[in-house]
Chains A and B, each alone.
Chain A
């Protein structure tokens, strides 16, 4: 391991804002997509059940 301290790790040899900007946005977007697909599936399941109960598209 080449990091002497937490500060050195965060600084990334002076490239901290580029490295963390890249990783931060990537994992934020991915986490957002995970929440979206899981919620979308649950919503579809709810709508399907509602449709079965009422027999219409509302």
Chain B
């Protein structure tokens, strides 16, 4: 296959590509969310231990997974920007940060609302919850640091270093329930063994995971288009865009 990936590593070619791709991800996000909510509320049975409060996991788990995954992808783009000095990579990192922060906030919020009836407390300073809160601070720190430096290329480099150093927190979040004795339960879904939940519950959760994936990609693509225009406005192709 002679597809040239590097063709799309320039803002000029990526801007229209992102514009063509985004609608598909918006549609997928809406369709999958409707399907996931239908399964989550009307097909999946009431849990015999947690009652209906468990239904919060249909958004809690996807948001928590995305919060970690987006961080790794964001740090990867930031590192690529630092190493290869490609403008678009850093713009992608910037486009992902707010969505990652939102996913982290959702994971914390829904976790608190699940924890209150299940554990009897909104919050505990255990390893899982604390490391997830640190993740939120890393996202906010990344955005604040980038915003505080006037020269965008210098801001990219400083924020990239923060993002790369912060990656160490992601395995800490993921393995915290194994490494420490946490109030937060271990994972119910794992690659190495059969999931410890009813199949309709699992199906609803996985559909919501794909919905959150599509949503995150759609928002990041739309946001990066705005960032490209802001930072490339001196370029001839943006000027041409303006006359269309």
Contacts and interface: CB of A to CB of B under 8 A. Distances in A.
A13 B60 CA distance: 19
B102 A30 contact: yes
Given A22-B56, A22-B114, A43 B109 contact: no
A53 B238 CA distance: 12
On chain B, which size bracket covers the interface? 35 or more
A33 B98 CA distance: 9
Give the size category of A's interface with B. 20 to 34
Given A2-B46, A15-B52, A33-B98, A41 B225 contact: yes
30 contacts: A1-B42, A1-B43, A9-B41, A12-B55, A13-B53, A14-B51, A14-B52, A15-B117, A18-B53, A18-B114, A22-B110, A23-B56, A26-B63, A29-B102, A29-B105, A33-B98, A33-B99, A37-B219, A37-B226, A41-B226, A41-B229, A44-B225, A44-B227, A47-B230, A47-B233, A48-B230, A48-B233, A48-B238, A48-B242, A49-B242
Interface of B: 41-43, 45-46, 51-53, 55-56, 59-60, 63, 98-99, 102, 105-106, 109-110, 113-114, 116-117, 215, 219, 222-223, 225-227, 229-230, 233, 238-239, 241-243
